[in-house]
Amino acid sequence: MALPIRVPGRRRRGTRPAEAAWGYAFVAPAIVLFAVMGAYTIGYGFSLSFASWNGFQPHWRWVGLQNYADLLWASPHWAPIVHQAALNTLWVMLAVPVLTVAVSFPLAVLLNSVRRLRTLMRSVYFVPQVTAGIAVYFAWQYILQPDGAINLLLGSLGLGSLRQPQGFLGNPSTALPTLIVITVWSAVPVSMMLYLAGLQAVDPALVEAAQIDGAGPWRVTRHIIWPLVRPITAIIVLLSLRDSLQGFQMFLIMTNGGPGYHTNVLGLQTYRLAFLSQLDTTLGLSSALGWMLFVAALILAAVNLRVMRRAT
């Protein structure tokens, strides 16, 4: 008696639709959540950039590209403010990545060469990152006041000419540089840890070979270690540019863009147009400025990656 031959392929074809249905059922909640909270929000915000609205009126007023024109040149009120914020943001974007790399890389090299108390020193340097940002900003604000610790320290050291009677955040010439220094101080811990991870992945044989050939610490660092950690440098620069372009929390808490508009940045101006304009119809302006920041961030990321790819 001949036994029936089973064809495995037929059974698999019959079960594939059921398996696919179960798969779609499992991923459907995530897709729906993204469609509602992600795609819909993005589309809503983009369409809002072409309208005039204050968030309370029942209907939008469609203005087309006028919001973008007002921010760039057309409005005698908003255009100068945005230009000043763009200039301040440019200074932050130039200074923060350079200073972050200049401080974090030597610290990482130093920590990598230390044998004793390495874990303790890592923890000490990483403290600014794990401390609550708002508390740190208020602490810095207290230190930088006219009667704060910085002015008292300068006076006790005989450097009274460097004291700021208005406080370092109240003087237009020192407010933005001070905020740049605090931004770098808060960005160094993560950058230093990234560099430290890269340094520990360097093959010790390369360093030993260079030392045998007579290379000193400076030559080893410059010609061997630094080229090997360039990809990490690209990541650090990209993160610093992103935070400099879009970040505004520190500027909001410590100065709120003052004195005048000397510390107003584009991220803060976007926030002020959206939430601090009372009943003015500036939500469209805020959305337009946010989308311009998004496009600028994409361009900077592409340029940074291309430059670093050529360098490596």
Residue-wise pLDDT for 154-191, tens only, equals: 888 888 888 888 889 999 999 999 999 999 998 888 89
Domains of the chain, earliest start first? 14-62 (no CATH), 71-311 (1.10.3720.10)
Q: What is the distance between the alpha carbons of residues 83 and 174, in angstroms, rounded to a whole number?
A: 20
Give burial (CB, 10 Å; 0-12/13-18/19+) of 201.
exposed
Give burial (CB, 10 Å; 0-12/13-18/19+) of 306.
exposed
| Amino acid identity for residue 62 in this structure | W
Tens digit of pLDDT for each residue in 194-217? 998 888 888 888 888 888 888 888
Name which of 249, 232, 254 is nearest 100 in CA terms.
232
Say if residue 25's pLDDT is above 70: yes
Q: Are 203 and 119 in contact (CB under 8 A)?
A: no
Name which of 67, 69, 42, 41 is nearest 52 in CA terms.
67
CA 87, 92, 93, 94 torsion-angle sign: positive
DSSP character for 50? T
pLDDT band of residue 312 (cuts 50, 70, 90) is low
CA-based radius of gyration for the chain: 27
pLDDT, mean of residues 285-297: 92
pLDDT at 286: 93
pLDDT, mean of residues 268-296: 90
Q: What is the distance between the alpha carbons of residues 226 and 75, in angstroms, rounded to a whole number?
A: 47
pLDDT at 95: 95
pLDDT band of residue 272 (cuts 50, 70, 90) is very high
pLDDT at 13: 54
DSSP character for 65? T
| Predicted TM-score (pTM) of this structure | 0.84
Q: Are 49 and 67 in contact (CB under 8 A)?
A: yes
pLDDT, mean of residues 44-49: 90
Tens digit of pLDDT for each residue in 65-90? 999 999 999 999 999 999 999 999 99
Element at 51 (helix H, strand E) = strand 51-52
> Within 13 Å of residue 307, how many CA atoms lie on the same side as its CB?
11
Task: Using alpha carbons only, give the angle 112, 219, 94 rounded to the nearest 5 degrees.
Answer: 75
Say if residue 8's pLDDT is above 70: no
Q: How many CB atoms lie within 10 A of CB 112?
A: 16
pLDDT at 202: 84
User: Exposure pattern of 136-168 as b/e (b: 16+ CB <10 Å)?
Assistant: bbeebbeebbeebebbeeeeeeeeeeeebeebb
Q: Are 168 and 144 in contact (CB under 8 A)?
A: yes
